[in-house]
Amino acid sequence: MSIAVTGDVPYYAVIFTSLRTEGDHGYGEMAEAMVEAASRQPGFLGLESAREEVGITVSYWASLEAIAAWKRDLDHQLAQRLGRQQWYEAYKTRICKVERDYAFTRE
């Protein structure tokens, strides 16, 4: 995985922070499928994810409408239901408007 290339500001970030239950129970396969499905959505800009004790996934979107459309996606709704039923002890979703970004890359 690499740092997402998001383009010009402003854009939106959806920050999904989670605590997982024990075991995979199909989580890994569904997580890969959701990344693939999100990447095909209009307005999707990129994604970054890290997992240690707390999982953090940040997806980037061109608009609030694009985020709302992704939330309504039927496969995504299935993943959300399964998450509440078996994969997560707890989670929190935050939606933020990115008004400024900057980067550094070692040459």
Structure confidence by residue, pLDDT tens digits, 12-59: 999 999 999 998 889 999 999 999 999 999 999 999 999 888 999 999
Give this prediction's pTM. Answer: 0.91
Judged against a pLDDT cut of 80, whether residue 1 lies above it is answered with no
Do you know the residue count of the chain? 107
Q: Count the domains in the chain.
A: 1
Quick check: is 16 in a domain?
no
CATH code at position 73: 3.30.70.100
Quick check: is 103 in a domain?
no
Smallest CA-to-CA distance from 44 within 67, 78, 20, 22 is with: 67
Quick check: is 6 in a domain?
no
- pLDDT category at 99 given cuts 50, 70, 90 is very high
- pLDDT category at 61 given cuts 50, 70, 90 is very high
CA angle 93, 51, 16 (to 5 degrees): 10
| Token duo for residue 58 | 């940040």
Amino acid at 31: A
Judged against a pLDDT cut of 80, whether residue 71 lies above it is answered with yes
Amino acid at 77: Q
Quick check: is 51 in a domain?
yes
